[in-house]
Amino acid sequence: MPQSILFLCVANSARSQMAEGLARARLGPGVHVQSAGSEPSRLNPLAVDAMREIGIDISSHRAKAVESIDPGHVGLVVTLCAEEVCPTGFAGVPRLHWPILDPASPDRNTIEAFRAARDDLARRIEELSAGLFPD
């Protein structure tokens, strides 16, 4: 079972940031959780709001470049792009792809879109957790 998970998308502003917060809350301190993007921008305030609604504070998160991640500390890569080209790299590291629409795209940039992405991520992280940590 991987002791480290990296969530990747393009901007590292919404999906990957919410996934990082959700995974930290669900998987606990035994799993190192990170997120990054191929073209990092800034943390989207609606992502912060959507996570705050479920009691997870990601307001201190910052967008990070994929190049800033040490590949030696990555046991699983989860890419979250749906309409964009996902970052690559981390050869030899197991990879999952969860195509989740970007809630920050101009045609979706509403709290409802962020809630939908958050809830989809939460469901997938629960499923991942069940597979990683069977009872």
**Integer Cα distance of 98 and 18 in angstroms:** 13
Q: 112: which 2 tokens?
A: 């409802």
Q: 27: which 2 tokens?
A: 């998987």
**Secondary structure (3-state) at 46:** helix
Q: 97: which 2 tokens?
A: 């792809």
> Catalytic amino acids?
9, 81, 86
Alpha-carbon distances of 121 from 72, 92, 106, rounded to whole Å: 25, 24, 20
